[in-house]
Structure 1
Amino acid sequence: MRFPFLASLVACFLVLIPFLGTAQTSSDSLITARYEQAPLQTILSDLEKKTPLRFYYQSQWLQDIKVTAVFDRTPLPEVLRKSLEGTTLEFIQYHPFAIVIKPAGFVQPVLATKDSQGRPLNRVQVGSPQNASKAAKVTLRGRLVHSKTGEGVAGATVAVTAMKAGAMSDANGDYELSLPVGEHLVSYRVVGLMPEERIVALYNSGKVDVTLYENAVALNEVQINSERLTDQNVNSIEMGVNKLDMGVVRKMPTFMGEADVVKAVMLLPGVSSVGEGSGGFNVRGGSTDQNLVLMGGVPVYNPSHLFGFFSVFNPDAVQDVTLYRGGIPAQFGGRLSSVLDVKQKEGNKNKLTGKGALGPVTSRLVLEGPLGASKNTTFLVAGRVSYLDWFLKRLKDEQLRRSSASFYDITAQVNHQLGAKDKISIGGYYSSDAFGFTKDSLYNWQNIGASVKHTHTFSEKWVGSLSGVISKYSFEATDELASRASSFKNGLWSVEVKPELTYYAGKHQITAGFQGTRYEFQPGILAATSEESSVNGSALPYQQSMEGALYLSDEYTISPRWSAMVGLRFSSFWNIGPGDVYVYAPGETKRIRTIQDTLHFDAGQTIARYSGLEPRVSLKFSITENNSLKAGYQRMRQYIHLVSSTVGISPIDFWQTSNSFIQPQVGDQYSLGYFHNFLDNALEFSIEGYYKDIQNQLDYKEGADLWLNPAVEADLLAGKGRTYGAEVLLSKKSGRFTGWTSYTYARSQIKVASERPEEEINKGEWYSSNHDKPHTFNLVTAWQMNRRVALTSNFTYSTGRPTTAPIGQYLNDGRIIPIYGPRNQARIPDYHRLDLSLTIETNHKKDKKWEGRWNFSVSNVYGRKNAYSVFYRHEKFSVPKPYKLSVVGIPLPSISYEFKF
């Protein structure tokens, strides 16, 4: 490939190393060719046609060089060596796609002396020229820390542009990059902090730590994935993965002044919800319980405050958020649809700082800093409280004034550095909700979680960790009316241990580990709370289970164009005693009246056991540097189930273990995607298609009664599920106007067939699941109007969810009995909403002691009365008349003030 002299000179200027390079090419190409006095330029052009490589040189270096040779399935490096024999030239591979031909002893020019900000460049030397490594590449590693907090900066880009090489800093701020020996201009960048650059004279593997400082003016850019290289969209192996920086989330339009992690996630492609006022979210047509939600490694079984209007995550205590809806790593398991991994902040290492916000219905505060003069120990404490009761008491509606609603949560984190190689992290979380339509009926639910993690660095290549986690969810409903005074409770808790080991070896990153979890389920306890109560107490027995998994994964660069991420997980599940198992009459439908016997299992006995492999593989093929194809397959197993007759998460739902009758759900997902970057990576485009088969997906029988049912398996049916669709995403990352737009086509269907008509649904034909929403469109924009003012907007549209509608009615003893049509064959009206937000920064002084920001938001700007559900009014001699319930049917303005000191 011929290039103008200037382009060739720039390429050499940036990448040549100061020693003889005959590095083994990464290409596995075998060359068969015959050359008779062929010009060297002709040979190189021929090799470019036969391989994905490109050659860079100055034409005058190759003049008058002719080659006579015969090659028969000869490795490419040997072809080059033989072609250059007897010349003063040598070759070096500086990138999987590129080889430089240069004169031996060509002196590497001096790199620039100033960075992109005009500041003098610092030069760092690793090793010495006299003892320079003879290896083709050495390893540059280090840690990025925040200048104010001393915390590791996660998700920063570490790049050597000339080499087309880059890496991402991990959750601790550590990075690792493989480079040839020589001088390199290394850049360190992350959203919200000033970029840093270093000239690194790299002669041996070594470490370079860098401190990143805050921008005097931080632009309010909206990004889908701020933790990325500029071309990570194309070059990463992952697909179906999005990362959100909390700085982005806090600048988006808010509901009643509260920034919300889950609301931001629901604007990503492939993610939806069944409507306003419903807990949880749906990913690629899956149900809400098919999402594994982790807060600092702790599973959260109900991620919602106030029936989904707010999430349990305090935005000021969260570092970053990653959603895996495809390409789920092998270290995650137990759910079919997605993993939402929310990482907590570690705490400021340098000084005591605070951050908070005041809103119309909530306020929050975070304090963080070092403990002790050594700064080896840091802490973070975050609290959030609502005062909705004060708001409700000032409404005109009498019933609303008699209602109550409130929540609060507390997050705590302590980190201690035990020398250079050991670190201990301890975290805790507690949240509480209270809600009541009247003073007589009250609902309370809590999430409690705690974790401890010890990380040890064995060597530069080996890092291990050991984690322990406890999580508990509990719900209680109380009725204080004397005649029916009672208390109903349900919940579950889990305890988990997870040792993990990671090995870094050039083109490989291998992770292996074990995960063991013990569950205890409380399906339901009803007890009278006064002597006057007419309620008869009832209690379902506790259930216990254990889950274990071994996993191994490897991310590997196969060739310049092919990369792979391969994982294997083997999981096992035991439902253990004490417990009773009903024996139903053979050939009969499961009902209470068909129970013939009861089998009792003592404590520790295995009631039911399930196990299986969960392979995961992702492949990437680079078409060019700007576009690629990716494909993936993953199998997931889910052993615990949320039993509910509602479409969204409700506090009265309960978690159910797999047992002799309820088998684990198994999902196989296939995906294919095309990724393309435009305008020097300023625009990113992707389209992903997927198909997923699900075994043992649960639905309930007609007329099922799930509340305090001792034989709940008799009212549940297991069927087949399938989800499929396509996700299109276009995003703009830089400039004053940023944002993204996405369109998702998604179908979610179930088929429950049986030889017995009473154990099948819709006559055994496919029907839409409760969360089947074929069309979803999202538009997220941010306009940085000037240095202090930014305007952001969210618009979303989606097809209405399915519902079962009555098609007629009849009279029975004067009562109107509705006749319902096939399940989920009708739909509620389509959903659409526009939200706006205006953010005003108060000052931009570099050494300010107090930072403030006002946020003005309007949710549902044009007052769309979106239907949460549709009900029907039945009247004699009349067709059932539908009417809809709208949870938020008016524009909701809010103002909040955020501060930092």
Structure 2
Amino acid sequence: MKLNLLPLLCSGLLCLAVNLLQAQQTSAFDLSITGAYQERALPEILSDLESRYPVKFYYIPERIPFYPITIEFKGQPFYQVMKKLLEGSLLTFTKWSPNEMVLVPEDQRNRAFVEGMIKKWKAGEWQAPVLSSIAEKSFTFGSANSALTGGKLSIKGQIQDDESNEPILGATVLVRETGQGEVSDEKGNFQLKLAPGKYTLQITYISYQSQLNYVSLYADGELPVRLISMPQQLNEVLIKAQAVEKGAQSTNMGIERLSAKSLNELPTLMGEADVIKSLQTLPGVTNAGEGVAGFNVRGGNIDQNLIMQDDAPLFNSAHALGFFSIFNADAVDQISLYKGHIPAQYGGRLSSVLDVQLKDGNMRKWTGKGSIGFIASRMVLEGPIKKDKLSILIGGRQSYLGPTLSQSTSITIKDSKAAFSDAVLKLAWRVNAKNTFRLTGFTSGDEFRYAQDFGYNWQNYQLTAQWNRVHSDHFFTKLHASYGAYRAEQTDPGGNDAFTLSNGLNNLKVKLDNVLSAGEKHALRFGAEASQYYARPEAIRPLSDISVFLPEQVQKDNGRELALYVQDEITFSDRIAVSLGTRWSRYQNLGPRVVWYYAEGQSRENLTVRDSAQFAAGEVITSYGGLEPRASLKLGFSDNASFKMSYNRLRQYIHLTSNTVAPTPVDVWQASNLYIPPQIADQYSVGWFLDEPNKKWETSVELYYKKILNVLEYKDLPELILNQRLETEILAGRGHAYGGEFSIRKVQGKLTGWFSYTYARSLVKVEGPSAEETVNAGRWYPANFDKPHQVNLISRLQINPTNSFTFNFTYSTGRPISIPVSSYRLGSGAYANFSDRNQYRIPDYHRLDIAWTVDNRQTRLKGIRGSFTASVYNVYGRANPFSIFFRRNEKGRPSAYQLAVVGAAIPAVAYNFTF
């Protein structure tokens, strides 16, 4: 198939020329701003900027916020200054003319409204407000002449909303002179004990105008407080909270976070923003190659990652055999990857936890987002069913790979089929100030067929319910219940061996999570969790009357997992903090199942079977469990530098069985049983974290060591499909992984990004009671995902508010493989003699991607606002080898050949839009 790049090139040059012409016009966006403001209101700051720079601001005087802002700029670009000033407000800014800026609410951003605003300003109907940055009031209780001496007086009050009269929970009352503080309770009440005198009480609460109350206190008094609403965006507050979790200040280590915005800024394959591919730009996160599902963290297998969406587990996170993930980028709110210290509320996997949280629907207005790309389009629509009470979010994605394949000149490819889709629906019901219910439904699926040779199809189904309860400003509860189902099929559609092979797994999960803040020193988290795994039988059925296959079904193992956990975040001071916790888990292997017993002292083989037993449905066959302690420590040497260390013990009771490095959809999830014990890991980590004082640069170095028991390995050439005695092919080994991760990030300025280098080793040793149950004569050998060196360089150049370029370079060592080192003949047959397991490597992997984004959301006032991204994946067209295979050449001698899944540069165009 030929791709005509001329129209794309011409349109790109035209856009570039237009932007260059616009750049020749001097505008406010070209300014570099310097200034420092201490508790100044936004109108005062805007007025000061107007007096010092050639810029004019227009806004709605009644809607401009008056909360105090303390901020400093040193030669920062104008658009970055404006974004920082408007954080936490419901305002956005746009350019009316080169030197005229308009601040408008997001829901009133249209040309007619802005024209009316400017007309009122120029006619003198509107002008800058003269209110103080903080509302000020004075109160006197008693008389100075009659004041008590030597005792304390009581001042109490109730904080209410000025319009609705509803009490405000969690408002802060601070006595500036003494530093004493109090927080209002669920009825808005507060009480302070103070000596007689004059005080300044500052009362603040998110999304309300702050108040200064000058109190002359000479007798007990009651202070009426009515706060005026000044709306702020809660999602901006969440972004600030995330920043606390990273760098030198946080207690935890090995936590990576990505925002939904960052997904669309990275260069992507065929223009499709992708959660999993974005994670692979982070230190310590790799995969086996292009076209491989899942990801590997610190040398672990793909099944050692707990992947959750809205707290419900997922068992397949990939579309199109691993090229894309199942997550809709426009529906995602927050992505957290735990790979170092894993908090006690998470369990069941050894390497990492990927926590993907979906957005709640907008409670105030209807909005939409979407993307049109080369191979798929997606759409998310959200809004209120009942304003401020009930919201809905609906999202979907559909590929159109079929028409693309049909354009191929290859008959084989034209006869192939590929399609994927996913859909999500989420309801959020804010019952009252203390209770919120959420209901999420999700489905995703794939269908792939290569001509008439073979095909796969699979589906994910997920239903999640969650209740959040705020008992008080110190106590919070979350109750979660979810059901998930995974179905997979492999099909051979033609010939006398036509068949369908299927398997699946159902999962039920219930979790109670509590958070209790005990003063400023302790943040206690405790709860309980229960999961049940129902495995569908592995089954094969013929697809024609002439098929050589007969119907067959193999029962798989069921399991139940129970856990209790507690964790305390203890803050001794600004410099010393500790996180201590433990998780107790218990696993039970359940019937119905036939269990085979083997001759004692002999290897497990079909010939050594001595007896069997039938266990009924729900009957406990065997059980495992124990404590899983977790701890981390932060020692701060300054506000910008800290040393951290952590320890985790983790258990994994469910495993993915696959005898290939690239898992397929029909690989089976196997629950632990009498012969397959849980994997157990102990991980130790230490790290040094340094932030530049002005927060432009963040640097970290982390070292880790992980010891693993009962690593799943296999005998040579194992039979894993339709095997009633799978334990005869599986071996339990030992493993250890160790390495270091270095990362440096630039988080401010026109040029941002990060560089990371990871050194990681993952080794396995299998030493059984017999030669058949021993690998490589009992010596240590590299695990399938042992890739010692990994380099990532991500940079983003913001040319102006509209144009940006992103560059992504990645390098990694080739993965281990076993190869035939010689051959021999026996009778008329030729046989290969293979090397020891994983003693060779495929060539190293490296790739460069580039993306150019034109974002008009700050300059367009009407219609659909969006961004256009042109990207090139694999710029210099490297044919990175996925695997090595051997066959005889034209001279009859065995030769090695490389298989590359992507061997050329792939251009793509995507349009992301918002309305």
Amino acid across the alignment from 1:475: A
Partners of 2:159 and 2:405 lie apart in 1 by 55
Task: State the Cα deviation string for residues 24-73 of structure 1 (Å, max 9, x = none).
Answer: xxxxxxxxxxxxxxxxxxxxxxxxxxxxxxxxxxxxxxxxxxxxxxxxxx
Partners of 2:331 and 2:269 lie apart in 1 by 19
Pairing 1:391–2:411 present = no
Partners of 2:67 and 2:314 lie apart in 1 by 51
Partners of 2:322 and 2:212 lie apart in 1 by 50
Q: Secondary structure at the match of 2:278?
A: helix
Q: Secondary structure at the match of 1:713?
A: helix
1:622 to 627, 636, 639: 636
- What residue ranges of structure 1 are gaps of 5+ in the alignment? 1-12, 15-109, 144-158, 166-179, 189-194, 219-224
Partners of 1:376 and 1:361 lie apart in 2 by 37
2:446 matched residue in structure 1: 433
Amino acid across the alignment from 1:123: I
Amino acid across the alignment from 2:675: F
Q: Relative to structure 2, which stretch is displaced further, 599-608 or 722-731?
A: 599-608
Pairing 1:449–2:452 present = no
Shift of 1:229: 3.8
Partners of 1:560 and 1:126 lie apart in 2 by 34
- TM score, norm. by length of structure 2: 0.77
1:663 matched residue in structure 2: 677
Pairing 1:613–2:627 present = yes
Partners of 1:807 and 1:161 lie apart in 2 by 79
CA shift in 2, pair 1:846/1:390, >3 Å:
closer
Pairing 1:468–2:488 present = no
2:377 matched residue in structure 1: 363
CA shift in 2, pair 1:201/1:732, >3 Å:
farther
Amino acid across the alignment from 1:870: I
Pairing 1:837–2:837 present = no
Partners of 2:515 and 2:274 lie apart in 1 by 33
CA shift in 2, pair 1:470/1:210, >3 Å:
farther
Shift of 1:211: 3.2
1:212 to 228, 232, 237: 232
Decide whether the 8 Å contact of 2:251 with 2:632 is kept in 1.
Answer: yes
Shift of 1:207: 9.8
Decide whether the 8 Å contact of 1:330 with 1:567 is kept in 2.
Answer: yes
Amino acid across the alignment from 1:853: S
Partners of 1:777 and 1:126 lie apart in 2 by 59
1:490 matched residue in structure 2: 503
Q: Secondary structure at the match of 1:631?
A: strand
2:350 to 336, 344, 356: 336
Decide whether the 8 Å contact of 1:818 with 1:874 is kept in 2.
Answer: no
How many corresponding residue pairs? 750
Partners of 1:162 and 1:353 lie apart in 2 by 46
Partners of 1:599 and 1:206 lie apart in 2 by 73
2:757 to 715, 739, 743: 743
CA shift in 2, pair 1:828/1:390, >3 Å:
same
1:732 to 746, 750, 767: 746
Pairing 1:775–2:775 present = no
Task: State the Cα deviation string for residues 669-722 of structure 1 (Å, max 9, x = none).
Answer: 000000011242210100000000000000110121111111111101000010
Shift of 1:441: 3.0
1:532 matched residue in structure 2: 546
Decide whether the 8 Å contact of 2:67 with 2:210 is kept in 1.
Answer: no
1:503 to 501, 511, 516: 516
Partners of 2:866 and 2:675 lie apart in 1 by 57
Shift of 1:206: 12
Amino acid across the alignment from 2:483: I
- What residue ranges of structure 2 are gaps of 5+ in the alignment? 1-37, 40-65, 73-84, 86-127, 143-150, 162-173, 181-193, 216-222
Shift of 1:848: 3.3
Partners of 1:130 and 1:813 lie apart in 2 by 110
1:416 to 413, 429, 447: 429
Decide whether the 8 Å contact of 1:522 with 1:540 is kept in 2.
Answer: no
1:264 matched residue in structure 2: 278
Task: State the Cα deviation string for residues 224-271 of structure 1 (Å, max 9, x = none).
Answer: x97544794111001000111111111111111100011111111110
Amino acid across the alignment from 2:260: M
Pairing 1:862–2:873 present = no
Partners of 1:399 and 1:387 lie apart in 2 by 18
2:827 to 813, 817, 825: 813
CA shift in 2, pair 1:820/1:865, >3 Å:
same
CA shift in 2, pair 1:766/1:142, >3 Å:
farther
Aligned residues with identical type, % of pairs: 38
Partners of 1:690 and 1:504 lie apart in 2 by 31
CA shift in 2, pair 1:523/1:764, >3 Å:
farther
Q: Relative to structure 2, which stretch is displaced further, 534-543 or 511-520?
A: 534-543
CA shift in 2, pair 1:440/1:754, >3 Å:
closer
Shift of 1:416: 0.5
- TM score, norm. by length of structure 1: 0.78
1:324 matched residue in structure 2: 338
Partners of 2:341 and 2:135 lie apart in 1 by 38
Shift of 1:347: 0.5
Q: Secondary structure at the match of 2:347?
A: coil
CA shift in 2, pair 1:588/1:323, >3 Å:
same
Decide whether the 8 Å contact of 1:280 with 1:648 is kept in 2.
Answer: no
Amino acid across the alignment from 1:449: Q
Shift of 1:523: 5.0
CA shift in 2, pair 1:226/1:829, >3 Å:
farther
Decide whether the 8 Å contact of 1:767 with 1:824 is kept in 2.
Answer: yes
Q: Secondary structure at the match of 2:442?
A: strand
1:299-318 equivalent positions in 2, closer than 5 A: 299-318=313-332
Amino acid across the alignment from 2:548: S
CA shift in 2, pair 1:574/1:113, >3 Å:
closer
Task: State the Cα deviation string for residues 734-789 of structure 1 (Å, max 9, x = none).
Answer: 11110001000000010001231110111111100000000000000000011210
Partners of 1:797 and 1:439 lie apart in 2 by 36
Q: Secondary structure at the match of 1:483?
A: coil
Shift of 1:519: 0.5
CA shift in 2, pair 1:127/1:708, >3 Å:
farther
Partners of 2:869 and 2:685 lie apart in 1 by 40
2:712 to 691, 698, 703: 698
Shift of 1:538: 1.2
Amino acid across the alignment from 1:383: G
Q: Secondary structure at the match of 2:321?
A: helix
CA shift in 2, pair 1:441/1:889, >3 Å:
same
Partners of 1:332 and 1:142 lie apart in 2 by 39
1:102 matched residue in structure 2: none
Q: Secondary structure at the match of 2:472?
A: coil
Shift of 1:399: 1.5
1:20 matched residue in structure 2: none
CA shift in 2, pair 1:530/1:674, >3 Å:
same
Partners of 2:268 and 2:906 lie apart in 1 by 10
Shift of 1:213: 5.8
Partners of 1:705 and 1:369 lie apart in 2 by 52
Shift of 1:599: 1.2
2:134 to 117, 123, 132: 123
Q: Secondary structure at the match of 1:790?
A: strand
CA shift in 2, pair 1:744/1:620, >3 Å:
same
Amino acid across the alignment from 2:901: V
Shift of 1:631: 0.3
1:285 matched residue in structure 2: 299
Shift of 1:304: 0.2
Decide whether the 8 Å contact of 1:523 with 1:655 is kept in 2.
Answer: no
Partners of 2:338 and 2:233 lie apart in 1 by 30
Task: State the Cα deviation string for residues 840-875 of structure 1 (Å, max 9, x = none).
Answer: 123534753420211100000000110111111246
Decide whether the 8 Å contact of 2:589 with 2:623 is kept in 1.
Answer: yes
1:126-137 equivalent positions in 2, closer than 5 A: none
Decide whether the 8 Å contact of 2:245 with 2:252 is kept in 1.
Answer: no
2:391 matched residue in structure 1: 378
Q: Secondary structure at the match of 1:211?
A: coil
2:666 matched residue in structure 1: 652
2:909 matched residue in structure 1: 895
Partners of 2:572 and 2:823 lie apart in 1 by 65
Partners of 1:809 and 1:741 lie apart in 2 by 45
